[in-house]
Structure 1
């Protein structure tokens, strides 16, 4: 997990540097939004909530809209109020200021991070199984039988005469309860191997390396749509106002 966390932190750092160079007015407002995205993704890797990754990415696009909208159309004015920013946040998914970038970035990135999440979960299960096996109570009879094996040359790999299957009999008798987990352990090991192959195929490191450029491209799309964006946003806000009035009507 440490490798993935470092890759996410690196993507955050490089994105912020790119924003500072390309959109200097936007960068300060984008910094906490970007940091929250990375922090939420790190937490989602071990969260029991299977939708945590999707929620983190969706919240990022929602939260980024207000500072980008302000930078595109009202950069000379004071920052938006909290109420107005929330209004813009709610309008983002309808207005779709980023074009197709969220889909291009989100779908492969989520696939890769889901695979990491599954891989980590599989390893945790494996550790639990190993710890359970280590705590397996050894009956006193097994301890006595194992002690007698010290005098069997065959059990030490020497050329001494075999002890009439004593080594195998002790192993079978004393480890029989653990044999029940053998099939499940084999399935788990196979699953971990397949998930590892999927993780390599997802090229997550490559996706995270490209993330700064993709996020910058999304901002550029929104800035280029400035006037149209303002019209669509105003229309969406008016529709929401009308809905609220209708819902309050007796």
Structure 2
């Protein structure tokens, strides 16, 4: 989000230098475009991730089209070098309605919309992946840190029995090791709960 605000500020500075007499009027379409961009990629971290949300590339294409439509009267006024007064609102609306016919910016709006849509969609997917990863890690952490759960208690008892019972029986001097079958059974019992609970979120993330 910081990058979009930085880009927005740079664009505002650029337009203020090019369309110096129309700085105030050019601010609105620029801010509106970047607001739509942020709304498109922004994720509400308080809600579950929806991989296929209502946002779609057409929204960005419409935002870019609206931006150039709003910009056209400003650019035309600048090129006409009419410094003493602005166009009337009705004349501005007339210019906007003639955009498709005149095509003052050529293919630039379509090309920009296409490139921007691809870039923002990749950004949204990356942010969604980060969010899912955070949720999976939180789930993993909560499971592993839940020391009072029944499964953890049983696991702790089994590990304690496997590790220290031989020592309690006076076998500690020989440093006996549990047989492999017993050790594997204890580890399976400890990990079964975690594998079952983490299988779905991890597979979904991967």
Same fold (TM over 0.5): yes
Find the aligned partners of 2:176 and 2:88 in 1 and give their Cα distance. 87
Q: Structure 1: which 5+ residue stretches go unaligned?
A: 190-250
Map Cα deviations across residues 81-107 of structure 1 (whole Å, 9 max, x no partner): 444433322322332111232244332
Q: Is the 8 A contact 1:153 1:160 kept in 2?
A: no
**CA 173–92 in structure 1, closer or farther in 2 if over 3 Å, else same:** same
C-alpha separation in 2, matches of 1:72 and 1:147: 79
- The partner residue of 2:72 within 65, 72, 75 is 65
Q: What is residue 162 of structure 1 aligned with on the other side?
A: 178
Partner of 2:29: 33
Tell me, yes or no, if structure 1 residue 143 matches structure 2 residue 158: no
Q: 1:17 to 1:122 in 2, by over 3 A?
A: same
1:216 aligns to what? none
Aligned mates of 1:182, 1:18 — CA distance in 2: 46
Q: 1:49 aligns with which of 43, 52, 55?
A: 55
TM-score, length-scaled by structure 1:
0.58
Preserved CA contact (<8 Å) 2:41 2:120:
yes
Q: Note the 1:9-20 alignment, pairs <5 A.
A: 9-20=5-16
Return the TM-score normalized by structure 2.
0.69
Between Structure 1 and Structure 2, how many residues are aligned?
Answer: 179
In 2 relative to 1, CA 15–167 (structure 1 residues): closer, same or farther, beyond 3 Å? same
Task: Indicate conservation of the 8 Å contact 2:77/2:86, yes or no.
Answer: yes
Describe the shift of the 1:152–1:101 C-alpha distance in structure 2 as closer, same or farther (beyond 3 A).
same
Q: Where in structure 2 are the equivalents of 1:103-182 lying within 5 Å? A: 103-133=110-140, 141-148=150-157, 149-150=159-160, 152-153=162-163, 161-162=177-178, 164=182, 165-178=184-197, 180-181=199-200
Closer, same or farther: CA 181–16 of 1 in aligned 2, 3 Å = same
Which has the larger displacement, 71-80 or 86-95?
71-80
> Which gives a bigger RCO, structure 1 or 2 (Cα 8 Å, sep 6+)?
1
The alpha-carbon distance between structure 1 residues 146 and 81, as it changes in their structure 2 partners (threshold 3 A), is farther
User: Residues 140, 10 of structure 1: CA spacing in aligned structure 2 closer, same or farther, 3 A cutoff?
Assistant: closer
Structure with higher helix content: 1
Query: Are 1:62 and 1:93, in contact at CA under 8 Å, matched by a contact in 2?
Result: no
SS of 1:78's partner is: coil
Question: How many Å apart are 1:143 and its aligned residue?
Answer: 2.8
Query: Residues 171, 93 of structure 1: CA spacing in aligned structure 2 closer, same or farther, 3 A cutoff?
Result: farther
